[in-house]
Chains A and B, each alone.
Chain A
C-alpha cells in the first residue's frame, strides 16, 4: 500500500478527461472517488470525508472551467480551496490575558507530546514574544514526568514549579499561578498528565484545574499520526473542556496528517502550532494552506520558498549569480552553496516540498545520508586554495592526494569533480534564462499538466513578490 499523494491519483483520472468548457457530473464523480481515497489514506475521519466530498461535488458540478485550466485542474483547484477554507482561513495566534499571568493548559492523550510541547512553547514565548514563562509540573501519574519537565526547564533555563507527585494537580496548578504572580512572570504553562477522553475521573480533574485556574488557552495536543480516532478524541475533549486551540505534534514524520482536518471539521477550533522535531525550538505557527497541500500530497511549495528566503542569504545568492554569469563558479562557492542548502534541512524534505516531486516513483525510498554532504565537503576541504579556485588544474596526482587527504576512494573524488563540472555547466545555462538544464535535473520528475500548473503558479507567485519588492524599493 504505497502512500501516494492525491496528485498522482488525480493525474491518472485527469488523463481520461477531455478538454471541455464545463465540468460534467461524470468528471466530478471520477475525480471525487480519488479525492475520497486520498483523504482516507491520509487518515481523515471517514465522516468528515463524506461531508467534504459532498460539498466539493456540489460546487464543482457545472463550474465554468477557466481559460487556462482543464476540467480536472479546475476540480483540483476547488478541492484545494475548500480544504484550505476548512483548515481555517487565517493563522491564529496565542491569546494573552488582560492581566498577567496568562494561564495555558496542555491536555491530551498519553504520548501525544504534551511535556515536550510545553517546553517548546515556553521557548517560543520567550524568544518570539519576549515573555517570561513558568512551567508547572501537574503530571503526577506517569513515572518521572516531573523530572522530564525539570530537565527541559534546565535545558531552556526556564523556571519549573513542582510539588512532587503526592499533591493533587489542582493544588499544584493553583500554587504555580501564585508563584508566577509573586515573581511577575507573564505565562504559566500547566503540563497535565496524558489521559483517555473516556476516563471520567481524570477528565473531571482537568475540569477542576480549569475551574481553579481560569486558563486563557486550553491546548489539545494531538499526535499528527493519529488515525480515525482523532475526531472522537478532539470532540470529546472539546465537549468536556471547551478547548481553545490545538497543537499538532510529530509533523516531522512522513504522515500526511489528516487528523488535522478531522479535528478542524469536528471542533471548529483553530490549530495554532505544529511541532516538527525533537529539539526544543522545533515549534512553528500553523499554516492552513500548507497543511491542506500536505494532506493532499500536492507539495509544500510555500514552505520551501519561505525556508529558502529565511536561510538563503540574499546578498550571497546575488554574488553567486554574478559569479555564475561570469562562469567563475569554483569549489569555494560550491561548499558555500552546499552549506546554505543543508541549513534548510534534510534534502529529502526539501525535495518533497517541490510540487510534482511527490509523485516521482521511488522518491519515498530516497534517503540521503547527511554524511554524504559531509564527505563531499571533506573532499573539497582537502584541496589547496589554488585548486579550489581553479578546478582545471586537478591532475591525476593531485586527485590522488585529495583522496588520501579526505580518506575517500579516488573514484569518489573523480565523480565529485565530474558532478561539480556538470552542475557548473547547468547553472550557467540557467542563469542565462535557459531552463532546459533544470528539466534535465528533475529527469522525468515534473511531468504532465499538473506539474506545469504547479510550476506556473510558483513562477507567478515569485513574479508577484518581485513586483511588490520593486514597488517597495521605489518608495
Chain B
C-alpha cells in the first residue's frame, strides 16, 4: 500500500466492523434466564435502598488515584454500588468485604485459577520479555531466572537488548548472580541473530528455560516494533509452539499510556501476560484492571524491589486489598 493510500484510509476511517452484536445478544439472553425470581425481587427492593454516597465518592478518588482510569472507575463504582445495594450491606466492614469480593470477581471474569507460566513439556521453553524503556525488563529476567533456578530448572538468558548502553553487561551481572548462562552478541548487533544463537545453544546444552531480553521501545515506533516481530518470528521458527510466554513488563507508576502499550505490544507480539514492576513504591498500577477488562491480558507476576527474591506470583485478592488499604484504614 502506498503512502498516500494509507493516509487516505486513516482519514476516511475504513475498516470498522461490528461483530460483537450477536454475541452480546446471546449473553443478554442467558443472563435473564440465570436470574431467579428471588434475585429479581431483591433487585427491585435494591432500588429503594441507599448507599453512603460520600463513601463512593472517596472510592472513586482512590481508583482514579490508582491510575485505573476514568471510564473504568465509573464502570467499577457503578457495579459496586449495585452490588452493595443487592447484598444490603450497611456496616462499613460489610461494605468493604462486598466491594473487594466483587472487584476480584470482575477481575477474574469467572476464571479463578492461579496465573501460571506456560511451560513446554517436551524440551525448551522460551519466554520473551517486552516493554517500553526503563520498566525493568532486565531486572525482571534476573528475578525470574532466580525463581526457576531454585526450582531446579536449567535457565539460560539471551541478551537481546543490543541497543542500550550497558544492557548486555547488566544481564551478565544478573546471570552471574543467579548462576545462569548468558548468550550475547555484539553491542549494536542484530538482536534476532542473538535470539537465533541463544536458541541453538540452549537446545545444545539442554536448558529448560530460555529468557529473551529485548531493548525497551516505545510502542509508537513502527520500526522498532517490526524488529520485535522479527525476533518473535525467529523464535516461532526455531521452536515449535514458541515463544511459550510473551510477558509485557509494565511500570506500576505508568498512567493511562499503559493501555496503549498493552494494545500495541499485544498486536505485534501477542502478549500472554503482564509483569507489573515497582509495586514496592507508592504507585498502584491500577491500569492493569482496565487492561484486563478491555484486552483480557492477565497479570502474572509483580515486582516488589531490586533484589532477586523480590518477585511474586500475582494474587488478585491481595492486590485489590492493597488498592483500598488506605480507604479501609481510614474508615476503621
Contacts and interface: CB of A to CB of B under 8 A. Distances in A.
A419 B210 CA distance: 49
A229 B163 CA distance: 29
B259 interface: yes
Interface string B201-214: 00000000000000
A259 B255 contact: yes
A41 interface: yes
A229 B281 CA distance: 10
Interface in B133-160: 133-136, 142
Contacts of A419: 2, 4
A41 B69 contact: yes
Contacts of A40: 64, 70
A113 interface: yes
Contact of A109 (B10, B165, B169, B253): B253
B263 to A, nearest CB: 10
Contacts of A367: 6, 222
Contacts of B222: 346, 367-370
A225 B255 contact: yes
A362 B13 CA distance: 5
B11 A258 contact: no
A158 to B, nearest CB: 13
A252 B218 contact: yes
B278 interface: yes
A186 to B, nearest CB: 24
Interface residues of A, number: 73
A141 B13 CA distance: 50
Contacts of A445: 11
B11 A363 contact: yes
B260 interface: yes
Contacts of B187: 151
B256 A41 contact: yes
Contact of A143 (B9, B61, B66, B169): B169
B116 interface: no
B257 A43 contact: yes
B251 interface: yes
Interface in B219-268: 219-223, 251, 253-260
A361 B13 contact: yes
Contact of A110 (B254, B278, B287, B290): B278
A349 B67 CA distance: 26
A1 B68 CA distance: 12
A195 to B, nearest CB: 10
Interface in A144-182: 144-152, 155
A111 to B, nearest CB: 3
B241 to A, nearest CB: 30
A412 interface: yes
A18 to B, nearest CB: 28
Interface string B84-115: 00000000000000000000000000000000
A442 B256 contact: no
Interface string A125-150: 00000000000000001111111111
Contacts of A43: 67, 255-257
A54 to B, nearest CB: 16
Interface string B271-309: 000000010111100010010001000000000001000
A360 B2 CA distance: 20
Contacts of A444: 11
B179 interface: no
Nearest to A415: B2
A412 B11 contact: no
A386 B72 CA distance: 61
A365 B11 contact: no
Contacts of B61: 46
Given A198-B282, A254-B219, A227 B255 contact: yes
Nearest to A40: B70
Interface in B1-18: 2-14
Contacts of A256: 256-257
A228 interface: yes
B166 interface: yes
A228 B67 contact: yes
A147 B260 contact: no
A254 B221 CA distance: 10
Interface in B26-84: 61, 64-67, 69-72
A60 to B, nearest CB: 22
B170 interface: yes
A87 interface: no
A383 interface: no
A368 B65 contact: no
A226 B255 contact: yes
B7 A366 contact: yes
A250 B6 contact: no
Given A148-B164, A228-B65, A229-B282, A443 B219 contact: no
A453 interface: no
**Residue among B5, B64, B283 with the highest chain A CB neighbour number at 10 A:** B283
B173 interface: yes
A372 interface: yes
A17 interface: no
A278 B223 CA distance: 13
B314 interface: no
B162 to A, nearest CB: 12
B257 A255 contact: yes
A253 B257 contact: yes
A9 to B, nearest CB: 12
Nearest to A50: B61
A368 B165 contact: no
A258 B290 CA distance: 19
A300 interface: no
Contacts of B254: 223, 225-227
Contacts of A10: none
B126 interface: no
Nearest to A151: B165
B132 interface: yes
A112 B132 CA distance: 11
B165 A227 contact: no
B251 to A, nearest CB: 6
Given A1-B290, A253-B219, 13 more contacts: A111-B134, A145-B170, A149-B166, A226-B255, A229-B282, A230-B253, A252-B221, A253-B257, A258-B255, A362-B9, A362-B10, A368-B3, A415-B2
Closest 6 CB pairs between A and B?
A227-B255, A148-B166, A111-B134, A43-B255, A143-B173, A151-B165
Interface of B: 2-14, 61, 64-67, 69-72, 132-136, 142, 163-167, 169-170, 172-174, 177, 187, 218-223, 251, 253-260, 278, 280-283, 287, 290, 294, 306
29 contacts: A1-B290, A43-B67, A110-B278, A144-B167, A147-B165, A147-B166, A147-B170, A148-B165, A148-B169, A196-B282, A197-B282, A223-B134, A223-B254, A225-B258, A226-B255, A230-B255, A250-B133, A252-B220, A254-B218, A254-B219, A259-B255, A278-B133, A278-B164, A348-B220, A362-B9, A362-B14, A366-B10, A370-B222, A443-B8
Interface of A: 1, 3, 37, 40-43, 45-46, 109-113, 141-152, 155, 196-198, 223, 225-230, 232-233, 250, 252-256, 258-259, 278, 346-348, 351, 360-363, 365-370, 372-373, 376, 412, 415-416, 419, 442-445
